[in-house]
């Protein structure tokens, strides 16, 4: 896994609220040596009733994040995460979260974050990424497959106009937006794919325009 990539595996397709409940369960069990009751979950997380807490628990169990034992007030088993980078251990707070717009196909000549390019918004913690992202770009095609960026993934991008050798960037070349690895060779920039089936893009800075739109700082897979 590239160091800047974060993946949501199928059983980790949790909403922000579900992650908050899961993190609370883990922390409560560490602190008390046993899981909480539904009433304690509702009280500590501000739910309207124990029934609301039960609904979240049932969803977490269905997604494979916890196990429930019927007929017991504390019948909750919470496995510790095998990969801490996937799920933050500390409970999330509302002011930790980012509302990140999802950029789909980019209209020719339009700014990347123009309204017509936006599909939706996802609320995520910045702690999931190697640096604070500004938006999510939906990946189209397999040119970066061997870097762990697949067709349909959401690429987390931090806005910047500068890039260093070896960074995976979002670039605009001749009004086309592309995701490639940035390599500088004097007055030439090579945008290298991570798939041998694709050719690199060479840009002569003396005669051609290249705009760096941002740096990749994470990959999300498994959410729409």
Under a CB-based contact definition with an 8 Å cutoff, are residues 15 and 59 in contact? no
* Whether residue 119 sits in one domain with residue 25: no
Per-residue pLDDT for the chain (224 aa), expressed as one digit of tens each? 344 444 444 334 567 778 788 888 988 888 888 899 999 999 988 888 999 899 989 888 887 788 888 777 788 988 765 443 334 444 545 556 888 999 988 766 667 777 778 888 988 888 788 788 999 999 988 999 888 888 888 999 999 999 999 999 999 988 889 999 999 998 999 999 999 999 999 999 888 889 999 999 888 877 76
Q: Is residue 59 part of a domain?
A: yes
Residue 224 has a pLDDT of 60
- CATH code, domain carrying 73: 1.10.10.10
159 and 215 together in one domain = yes
- Specify if 95 maps to a domain: no
Same domain for 111 and 15, yes or no, is no
pLDDT, position 95: 55
Q: Within 10 Å of residue 108's Cβ, how many Cβ atoms? A: 8
Give the Cα separation of 64 and 71 in Å (integer).
20
Give the pLDDT of residue 3.
41
How many domains are there within the chain?
Answer: 2
Query: Residues 58, 169: one domain?
Result: no
Helix 50-62 × helix 16-32 angle, to 10°: 100
Residues annotated as catalytic are: 143, 180
The pLDDT of residue 8 is: 44
Give the model's pLDDT for residue 114.
77
pTM confidence score: 0.59
Residue span of the structural domain in which 144 resides: 100-220
Q: Is residue 93 part of a domain?
A: no
Contacts (Cβ under 8 Å, ≥6 apart) of 160: 212, 214, 215
């Amino acid at each position: 896994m590239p160091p800047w990539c974060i993946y949501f595996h199928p059983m980790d397709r949790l909403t922000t609220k579900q992650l908050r409940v899961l993190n609370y369960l883990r922390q409560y069990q560490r602190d008390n040596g046993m899981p909480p009751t539904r009433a304690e979950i509702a009280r500590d997380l501000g739910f309207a009733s124990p029934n609301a807490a039960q609904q979240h628990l049932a969803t977490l169990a269905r997604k494979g994040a916890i196990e429930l034992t019927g007929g017991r007030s504390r019948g909750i088993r919470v496995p510790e995460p095998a990969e801490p980078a996937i799920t933050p251990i500390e409970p999330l707070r509302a002011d930790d979260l980012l509302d990140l717009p999802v950029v789909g196909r980019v209209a020719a000549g339009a700014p990347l974050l123009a309204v017509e390019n936006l599909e939706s918004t996802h609320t995520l913690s910045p702690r999931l990424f190697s640096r604070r992202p500004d938006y999510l770009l939906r990946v189209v095609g397999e040119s970066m497959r061997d870097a762990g960026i697949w067709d349909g993934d959401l690429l987390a991008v931090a806005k910047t106009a500068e890039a260093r050798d070896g960074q995976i960037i979002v670039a605009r070349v001749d009004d086309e937006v592309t995701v490639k690895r940035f390599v500088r060779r004097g007055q030439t920039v090579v945008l290298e794919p991570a798939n041998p089936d694709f050719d690199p893009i060479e840009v002569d800075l003396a005669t051609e325009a290249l705009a760096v739109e941002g740096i990749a700082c994470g990959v999300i897979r498994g959410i729409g």
